[in-house]
């Protein structure tokens, strides 16, 4: 579908409010983290000129006590997430120096040879339109946010980088294929049950 003669495609996450570039999507380490407003990305680096850092503060997160610095967009001031400054627990220290970006506060934008993509597919529809319901995902390429999901065949099982718990287990050195598969199966069943409930509404 993509024109092979266009060689330089750059993809950014931008501020969903003012569209300032925040980071390259290649800086996204995991898409399975949790922010204050729902799902979030763990990102290795941001474009420093477009970010304002708040004062470091202690915060009790789901995964224990951390020192974090809130980050916001330099242009419009929107809160975007935080930077991990320090983690009390050794197993959490891999996150130090990295960033949380709330998925609801950012948007993915493609540039082709320096030109902003129009976000339309070959039928002229806005990409990901079915998912677009004001949750910040309008214009996303369908499936991009699901890249890390297991394909379910059980062969060549690798760490699911989209899953916060598996990522933590990996950094702590106790990730284990069987445990991961059991966990994914439980998650799949829970997901199925939730879908059934949803479709009855
Ligand atoms: Zn902004």
156 part of a folded domain: no
| CB-based contact 54:70 (threshold 8 Å) | yes
Ligand 1 center from residue 3 Cα (angstroms): 31
What is the extent of the structural domain holding 188? 164-200
Let me know whether 106 and 175 are in one domain: no
Ligand 1 center from residue 189 Cα (angstroms): 38
Ligand 1 center from residue 79 Cα (angstroms): 9
159 part of a folded domain: no
Domain count, the chain: 2
Alpha helices in the chain (DSSP H): 164-172, 177-200
Place of tokens 């092979």: 4
Q: For the CA atoms of the chain, what is the radius of gyration?
A: 18
Per-residue confidence at 1, pLDDT binned at 50, 70, 90?
Answer: low
Ligand 1 center from residue 141 Cα (angstroms): 21
By mean pLDDT, which of 36-45, 132-141, 166-175, 188-197 is the weakest?
132-141
Ligand 1 center from residue 122 Cα (angstroms): 29
Let me know whether 97 and 29 are in one domain: yes
Whether ipTM exceeds 0.95:
yes
| Kind and range of the H or E run holding 83 | strand 79-87
Checking if the pLDDT of 155 tops 70, the result is no
Let me know whether 38 and 113 are in one domain: yes
Ligand 1 center from residue 19 Cα (angstroms): 6
- Identify the CATH number of the domain in which residue 16 sits: 2.170.150.20
Q: What is the mean pLDDT of residues 176-180?
A: 80
Ligand 1 center from residue 46 Cα (angstroms): 14
Q: What is the mean pLDDT of residues 108-126?
A: 62
Checking if the pLDDT of 123 tops 70, the result is no
């Amino acid at each position: 579908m993509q024109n092979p003669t266009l060689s330089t495609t750059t993809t950014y996450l931008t501020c969903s409010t003012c569209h300032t570039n925040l980071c390259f999507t290649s800086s996204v380490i995991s898409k399975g983290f949790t922010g204050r407003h729902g799902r979030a990305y763990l990102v290795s680096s941001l474009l420093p000129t477009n970010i304002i850092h708040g004062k470091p503060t202690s915060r009790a997160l789901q995964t224990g006590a951390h020192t974090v610095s809130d980050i916001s967009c330099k242009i419009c001031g929107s809160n975007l997430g935080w930077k991990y400054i320090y983690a009390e627990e050794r197993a959490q220290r891999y996150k130090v120096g990295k960033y949380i970006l709330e998925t609801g506060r950012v948007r993915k934008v493609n540039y082709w040879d320096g030109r902003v993509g129009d976000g339309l597919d070959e039928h002229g529809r806005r990409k990901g339109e079915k998912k677009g319901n004001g949750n910040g995902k309008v214009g996303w390429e369908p499936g991009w946010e699901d890249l890390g999901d297991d394909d379910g065949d059980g062969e060549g099982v690798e760490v699911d980088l989209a899953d916060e718990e598996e990522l933590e287990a990996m950094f702590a050195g106790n990730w284990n294929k069987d445990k991961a598969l059991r966990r994914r199966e439980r998650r799949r069943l829970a997901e199925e049950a939730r879908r059934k409930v949803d479709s009855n509404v």
